[in-house]
Amino acid sequence: MKKEEQWDLIISAESRWWDLNLSGLWKYRDLIQLFVYRDIVAKYKQTILGPLWHIIQPLFSTLVFTVVFGKFAKIPTDGIPHLAFYMSGIVLWSYFANCLMGTSNTFVSNASIFGKVYFPRMTVPISVVFSNLIQLGIQSSLFMAIWFYYKFQNRLGEINLTYLPLIPVLILQMGLLGLGFGILISSLVTKYRDLTYLIAFGIQLWMYASPVVYPLAEVPIEMRKYVEWNPMVPVLESFRLVFFGKGTVDIQSCTLSWVITLFVLILGMFSFHKVEKTFMDTV
């Protein structure tokens, strides 16, 4: 009796709209590692300071925010030292914004690779989310140095150990949110290139609509019901609650934030899956 042949991989011409083939991402995990390495090398190649830019950029941004919003505009920071307050917001926002920006041009920037060999296309945007963790780690070290500086001056309280395990959850949520919005925009960019010019501007506006340069406590009560639809608000406020003991956080806003995050991620994945079959005809 003839033995049935066993195939390691079956590539089919058609698939159902809900078949995302997520198991293929685990099978190609080594490729994700290679893409992470590629992103890191490409980012620092032919630069003199290399990873030091991850310290210089947030430090200068923090100093500018301290002068403009702290000294001139005199926006309250909930009793938190300006340098520590603005650095906490910039570090988190930079990770989210970089994930969104890095994944929003996936199809266009990788068309030459996608057109030559098969592999799960989702590996590329996922690698961007992982590669940005290195930048987050470096900038978080800078934030902790500032935190310890003010701590030794008795200008900050103790870290809230009860909520400390929330930090990995907040990082996960920012990565998923940036990935979701990024791949959703990437799916639209294949047909509407004008979006590439609006992304950076939109992220900048989004930052000022988030409590990066001001605490949520300064937002009028009647406006908070609209602000709560911003999924980054509970993330920023929860982070400050852990390290500064001050932040306007409740279960309802956190739940809504996660619902929006998962909705955007699922919508982005289905859009990405649909476009990846035909994008070579439009790119």
Write down the pLDDT at residue 154. Answer: 86
Write down the pLDDT at residue 64. Answer: 93
Q: How far apart (Å, rounded) are the C-alpha atoms in residues 158 and 139?
A: 21
Give the residue-averaged pLDDT of 136-161. 89
Over the range 87-108, which residues count as b (16 or more CB within 10 Å of their CB) and which as e? bbbbbbbbbbbbbbbbbbbbbe
Which residue would you say has higher pLDDT here, 277 or 209?
209
Q: pTM for the complete prediction?
A: 0.88
Distances (CA, A) of 243 to 43, 161, 168, 197: 31, 9, 14, 36
Dihedral sign from CA coordinates of 53, 35, 204, 200? positive
Q: How far apart (Å, rounded) are the C-alpha atoms in residues 215 and 211?
A: 5
Write down the pLDDT at residue 237. Answer: 94
pLDDT band at 182 (very low <50, low <70, confident <90, very high): very high
Beta carbons within 8 Å of 279's beta carbon, 6+ residues apart: 107, 111, 114, 190
Residue 214's identity, in one-letter code, is Y
CA 54 remoteness from chain centre: 15
Which residue would you say has higher pLDDT here, 17 or 186?
186
DSSP letters spanning 173-184: HHHHHHHHHHHH
88, 169 Cβ separation under 8 angstroms: no
Write down the pLDDT at residue 40. Answer: 80
Q: Mind listing the pLDDT tens digit for each residue in 70-98?
A: 888 888 888 899 999 999 999 999 999 99
268, 181 Cβ separation under 8 angstroms: yes
Q: How far apart (Å, rounded) are the C-alpha atoms in residues 48 and 53?
A: 10
Residue 244 parent element (H or E): helix 232-244
- Kindly tell me if the per-residue pLDDT of 7 is higher than 70: no
Q: How far apart (Å, rounded) are the C-alpha atoms in residues 204 and 239?
A: 21
Write down the pLDDT at residue 271. Answer: 87
Distances (CA, A) of 147 to 31, 161, 244: 37, 15, 9
54, 133 Cβ separation under 8 angstroms: no
Q: How far apart (Å, rounded) are the C-alpha atoms in residues 267 and 274?
A: 11
- Kindly tell me if the per-residue pLDDT of 8 is higher than 70: no
Closest CA to 260 of 171, 177, 166, 170: 177
Distances (CA, A) of 237 to 71, 133, 249: 22, 20, 6
Write down the pLDDT at residue 48. Answer: 60
Q: Mind listing the pLDDT tens digit for each residue in 9-52?
A: 555 555 554 556 666 678 878 888 988 888 887 777 666 666 77
- Kindly tell me if the per-residue pLDDT of 120 is higher than 90: no
Q: Tally Cβ neighbours within 10 Å of residue 5.
A: 5
Return the CA Rg of the chain. Answer: 21
